[in-house]
Amino acid sequence: MSESPGWQFAVEVHPADWHFPAGKTWIAGWLWAGEHRFATDLRAWLDGRPILGLHGLPKPGLDEKFLHRPGPPYSGFVILLEPHRGARELRLEVRDASGHWHEFFRTPITVDELASAAPTPGTLASRLAGLVPDLLRLQTQRPQQALAALADEVISAALAEPLNSLPVPPFHGALEEPRETGWLRYGRLSVTGWLAHRTAKIKRVTALADAVQESLLLHGLPRTDVSDVFADLPGRNQSQFIGHVDLPANQSTPALLKIFAELENGEKHLVFAQRFTPRVIAGADIPLPPLSRRTFARVAWALYRSARRHALPTGEPGALFAASRTAWHHYRSEAPARPHSHRAKTLAPAARGVAGPLRILLATHNLNFEGAPWFIFELARHLLAQPGVSVRVVCPQEGPMRRVFADAGMSVEVIDLAAAFAAPTPADFDRELAAAGRGLDVAGTDLFIASTMVSFWAVHLANAAHKPSVLYVHESSAIRRFFGPLVAPALFPVIEDSFRAATRVVFTADATRTVFDYLDGAGNFRLLPSWVDGGRIDAFASAHDKTALRRKHGLDPDAELFVNIGSVCDRKGQHIFIRAIELLKEELRFTYPGRKIQYVMVGARAGMYLDTLKQEVALHGLDQAVFIPETGDIFDFYRLADIFVCTSFEESFPRVLLESAVFRLPIVTTNVNGIPEMLAANEAWLIPPGDRYQLGDAMKQALAAHYAGDTTRADRARTAVLKRFHVDQSLPQHLALVREAAAQSA
C-alpha cells in the first residue's frame, strides 16, 4: 500500500518489475479517498497517452473496513493497458468531486520490443466542432480557472481511450441505452437493456453513474426477442431492465455508467460498463457564453495550443479552417440569444379595451389537476363572471378537470391533434390542424386564449380565422429543447411564429420572458403578475382541522410532515427529494430521537417514473415516504403540512409556492427561473436544483426552525406574496389585457 496526499491506494495486480509484454495487460487495485471525498474518475498515462479505467468497483472486505458498511462508494479499480513500443513511464491519476485531476502513482516501465507502435490520435480538425462547445461550457462553469488549463482538460478527455465492459458468461445481455451518447432529462439518464444468467437467479440489478448514489433498475420485465439468439437461456423472456440513474452536474466527460447484478447468494458482479457523452434534452444545462467572436477566437486558440502540447496533429490548414467555420456556426446557433434592450410592458391600457359582449375560446394543453390548468381555470372563471362574456374550452386530451370547468358553466370539447403534432412539415401541420378544428365555431369566437406554450396551435387557428389571440407561456425551456421529443424539427419555426402572431404573449415571470425575448419583434409581450386568493385560503384554514385532514388521508396525526406538491414527474424532481430523505434518515433519527417524521409527495400518476421512485423507497427502507395520487383537494395538503418542499428543475411562477406561503408554511425550494422573483432568501430556503446535499441541509434547517417555533421566514413570505400577488389586484390586470387584445385585429 502507498499513500499520496489524502489518498490511500495499492496497485495489487501488475506485471512483474513493471515490464509489459506485447498486447493487453490488466492492472488493478484499490483507492480510498477519505471519509468526506471520493473519486469521480480514474485514468492512466502511458507517456503522453491517456487511458480511462473502471473505478468504483466493489472490493469486499476493504469497503467495509473503510466505511464500516458495504459501499458505495466502492474502492476497487481496474485498467486495461496496451503499452506502445518504447513507452517509458506509467502515471495514474484520480479525479475528485470538484473536477480536478490528481496524480497518485508514477513508475518507470519497460515494454516488449514486439509491442505495437503508439496509435495515431487523429487530428484537431476532425474534433474541433465538438471541442469548442465543451470548452466554452467548461469556462462558464469554472470562470476563475486559467483557459489553458481548461483546454488541456478538454483535449486530454478527447484523447483518452475508453474502457467499456460487457457481460461475461454465464451472464448474457445487452445494454441498449445509453451508448456513445446519453440523453439527460432533469439530471437523469435513461437506462435500458436485458440481462440473464445461465445458472443462477438475478436478485436485483443496480446502476451507478457517480461515486455514491446507486440506483435500482426494474429487472425481470417481459422480453420476447432474446429467444431468437439464446433459445435455451433460462429467464430470457423476463430479462428486460429499465430505469434511471442520477448524473451529477459536474460529471466528467465522457461519463461512466456501471451496472451491477446481485445474485441470490449475495455475489455482486459488474455486468456492464459504458462510457458515454451526456447530452441534456431537458432541464438545467451549463450555458454557452453570449455570442462573441473574441470569446470564440480565444477558445479556438487555446485548443490549438493544447493540441500542440499533447502532440495531437492539427490537420491540414484547409481542414482546420473548415472545422473552425463549422464550430463557429454551431456556437452561433446555440449561444443565448441577445436580449432586447426593452422590458415587456407590465400592463396594457384598459381604456382601449372592449367592454361589451365577448365570446372566448380557451385552449388548454390538458385537463389534469396541474398548476397551469388551475391557473387558466381561475382566469376563465373571472372572465365568465363579467357581463356578456362567455367561455368555451377546447383541449387535445381528456382529464378530471373537465368537470371543474363544466361545473363553472363552461362547455368543454376534446379534439384530436395527434396528426397535427406528428406532421413532418409546416404545410402538413396547417392541413391537419385545419381538419382537427373544423368542428369548432371559429366564426362565433371573438378571442382565442392559449394556455401554455404547448397550446401554440390555438394561435394558428386564430390567425387563420383572422381573430385576435392571447398566448400564456408558463414554460421556461427553449422551444427547440422543449419540443425536440414532441414534434419534427421542421415545426420549430411554426411554434416560434405563434409568438410573433399572437396579439399578446403573457408571462408571469420575467425569467421566463427572457428565454423567448428574441421573438418579441412586434412588441406584443406582456409581463403580468400571477395571483393567489388569500381570503379563500384563510377561510379554508379556519374551517379545517389539521389532525382531521391527516386522518382523512391516512397520514400520521403526530408526525412532522414535509409535503411536496406537484405532478410526480422528472421535471418536478421528486427523485432528488427521495435522495435527500435517504441522506437525512439516520441523522434525524439521532438528532430528534422519538420524533416521527413523514415525507408526503402529492400528485402521483402511474408510469415508470413513479415505479422507479417506489423501488428506490423500498430499496433504502424509506417507510416514512408516502405517495398520494393527483387530487382536486389540494388545499387539504397545504393545511396538514408542517414544511413545504419544491424540488423542481424548471418552473415559471409556480402557484404551489404562492399558496404554501399564504398557508404560512416554511418553504424549501429550488431557485429556478421565476421563483426568486416570488420569494427572497429571507422568506424561504432557496437551493439550486438537483443537489440532494443542499436540499437535505435546507430541510434540516427548516425542521430545526419548526421545532423551535421560529416562523420568521414563513411570516415574511406570506406578507410579501399577499402584497404583490393578491387576486384582487392581479386578475383585473389580466382582464384588462384580454379586453385590449380582443379590440385588436389579428
Residue 446 has pLDDT above 90, yes or no: yes
Specify whether 561 is located in the same domain as 704: yes
564 shares its domain with 444: no
Q: Minimum mean pLDDT among 84-88, 161-165, 184-188, 417-421: which range?
A: 184-188
In a domain, 342, yes or no: no
Same domain, 355 and 331: no
Q: Are residues 613 and 639 in the same domain?
A: yes
Query: 613-651 burial string, b = 16+ CB within 10 Å, else e?
Result: bebbbeebebebbbbbebeeebbbbbbbbbbbbbbbbbb
With a cut of 50, say whether residue 336 has pLDDT above it: yes
- The stretch 399-412 carries a mean pLDDT of 94
Helix (H) or strand (E) holding 705: helix 692-707
> Is residue 516 domain-shared with residue 373, that is, in the same domain?
yes
Q: Residue 284: is its pLDDT beyond 80?
A: no
- Is residue 124 situated within a structural domain? yes
- If phi > 0 it is left, if psi is from -120 to 50 it is alpha, else beta; for residue 559 that is beta
Mean pLDDT (whole number) for 530-547: 95
Question: By C-alpha distance, which of 494, 493, 508, 489 is closest to 463?
Answer: 494
Query: What's the pLDDT tens digit per position in 5-19?
Result: 568 899 999 999 999
Mean pLDDT of 272-291: 82
pLDDT in tens, 674-695: 999 999 999 999 999 888 889 9
Residue 341 lies in a domain: no
Both 263 and 312 in one domain: the answer is yes
**Which pLDDT score, from 0 to 100, does residue 234 have?**
92
pLDDT of 432 higher than 50 = yes
Residue 40 confidence (pLDDT) above 90: no
State the total domains in the chain: 4
Average pLDDT for residues 467-478, to the nearest whole number? 92
Residues 410 and 323 in one domain: no
* CATH value at residue 86: 2.60.40.650
pLDDT band (50, 70, 90) for residue 337:
low
Domain assignment present for residue 526? The answer is: yes
Domain presence at residue 344:
no
Tens digit of pLDDT for each residue in 497-529?
A: 999 999 999 999 998 998 888 888 788 999 999
Q: What is the pLDDT of residue 98?
A: 78
Kindly report the CATH number assigned to the domain that includes residue 396: 3.40.50.2000
Same domain, 114 and 132: no
Structural domain containing residue 597: 541-725
- Stretch among 345-354, 650-659, 712-721 having the lowest mean pLDDT: 345-354
Q: Which of 60, 92, 119 is the last residue of a domain?
A: 119
Does the pLDDT value for residue 350 go beyond 80?
no
Region 553-576: mean pLDDT is 94
Same structural domain, 628 and 564? yes
Tell me: pLDDT of 669 over 90: yes
Share of residues in the chain with pLDDT > 90 (%): 70
Check whether 476 has a pLDDT greater than 80: yes
Per-residue pLDDT at 482 exceeds 90: no
Q: Is the pLDDT of residue 287 over 90?
A: no
Of all residues in the chain, the percent with pLDDT exceeding 70 is 95
**Distance between alpha carbon 446 and the CA centroid of its chain, in Å?**
39
Question: Residue 212: how many CB atoms within 10 A of its CB?
Answer: 17
Confidence of residue 3 (pLDDT cuts 50, 70, 90): very low
Grid cell listed for 561: 410532515
Residue 536 within any structural domain of the chain: no
Query: What backbone phi and psi angles, to 5 degrees, belong to 664?
Result: 65, 35
Whether residues 95 and 131 share a domain: the answer is no
Mean pLDDT of 450-460: 96
State in Å, rounded, how far the first CA of the chain is from the last one. 77
Q: pLDDT grade, residue 428 (50/70/90)?
A: very high
**403 shares a domain with 354:** yes
Q: In this structure, are 134 and 183 located in the same domain?
A: yes
Q: Is the predicted pLDDT of residue 251 greater than 90, yes or no?
A: no
**Cβ atoms within 10 Å of 94's Cβ, excluding its own:** 24
Mean pLDDT (the chain) is: 90
User: Residue 338's pLDDT is what?
Assistant: 57
Does residue 345 belong to any structural domain of this protein?
A: no
Q: Does residue 83 surpass a pLDDT of 50?
A: yes
pLDDT digits (tens, 9 = 90+) for 201-225: 999 999 998 888 888 898 998 998 9
What nine digits make up the cell of 52? 480511462
* Domain end marker among 297, 314, 336: 336
> Residue 39 has what pLDDT?
86
